Amino acid sequence: MRVIGFDPGLRLTGWGVVAWDGLHLRHVANGVLTSDDKLELPARLVQLRRGLLDVLEEHKPDEAAVEASLVNKNPTSSLKLGVARGVVLMTPAEAGLPVAEYLPMIVKKAVVGTGHADKTQVGHMVARLLPGCPIASQDAADALAVAICHCHHSATQRRWAEADGVGADGAAVGNAGAGA
C-alpha cells in the first residue's frame, strides 16, 4: 500500500509518500508545495491544487492522510489555513482516494511515542523509521509522519475488522460467528 501524507498550509504544504507492506515502511518521496504570496487567495489555491494533482499523478498513492489543523490565535491565519486544508482534503478525495485525518497529537504519539513531542523529535523519528530518507524540509517530515501514522492506524483497524469477521471492504470473512 502506498500512502501519501500531507501537512497542509497556504504558503507551504508538506507531502510525503511511504510504501507499507504490513510490516515494513519504505520511503518513496517527499517535498513541499508552495504558493506565491503575491497572488490573491483564489490563485494561490489553484496553485496548491495543481501541485497536489501533479504529486498524486506522479506517485500514485492508494490512500491519503491529512493532519488536522488546530485554531491559531490569529483568526485570519486560521481561516486561510482552513481554506488551504480544504483543498488538500478535496483533491485526493476527488481523485478517488480514501482520505483520513489525524490530530497533530495522534501523529506525534504514533511516530514519537508521546503526543507532546516537538518538531525536532518528529523529524528525528521519521529519519529513524525511514533510514536513508532525504527529508526535504520540516514540513515534509511532518507529512511523512502523517503517512506513517496512517499506516499504523489503518493496519490496526484492519486487524480489528478481521478479528470481528469483517474484511477491509465490509464483507464477512472466514468463520466469523461460527459455532455461535
Residue 42 lies in a domain: yes
Question: Percent of the chain, pLDDT > 90?
Answer: 75
Is 112 within a domain?
A: yes
How many domains does the chain fold into? 1
150 assigned to some structural domain: yes
Which one of the listed residues 58, 101, 118, 139 is annotated catalytic? 139
User: What pLDDT, on the 0 to 100 scale, is given for residue 77?
Assistant: 86
Q: What is the pLDDT of residues 2-40, one digit of tens each?
A: 999 999 999 999 999 999 998 899 999 999 999 999 999
164 catalytically annotated = no
- Residue of 100 and 153 predicted with greater confidence: 100
Question: pLDDT, tens digit, for every residue of 149-170?
Answer: 999 988 666 666 677 776 655 6
Instruction: Say if 179 falls within a structural domain.
Output: no
Does 180 fall in a domain? no
Choosing from 67, 142, 164, 169, which is the catalytic residue?
67
Q: Is 101 a catalytic residue?
A: no
Whether residue 40 contacts residue 47, with contact meaning beta carbons closer than 8 Å, is answered with no
Instruction: Note if 139 is an active site residue.
Output: yes
Range of the domain at 8: 2-163
Tell me the three-class secondary structure of 155-179, residue by residue: HHHHHHHHHCCECCCCCECCCCCCC
Nearest to 19 by CA among 133, 128, 147: 147
In a domain, 173, yes or no: no
Contacts of 62 (CB under 8 A, 6+ apart): 1, 2, 3, 97
* Catalytic hit among 7, 21, 36, 57: 7
The answer to whether residue 39 is domain-embedded is: yes
User: Which three cell numbers mark 105?
Assistant: 497529537
CATH number (domain holding residue 42): 3.30.420.10
Determine, yes or no, domain membership for 174: no
The sheet with strand 2-7 has its strands ordered as 25-34, 12-20, 2-7, 63-67, 99-102
Look at residue 32 and give its three-state secondary structure: strand
129: its cell numbers: 523509521
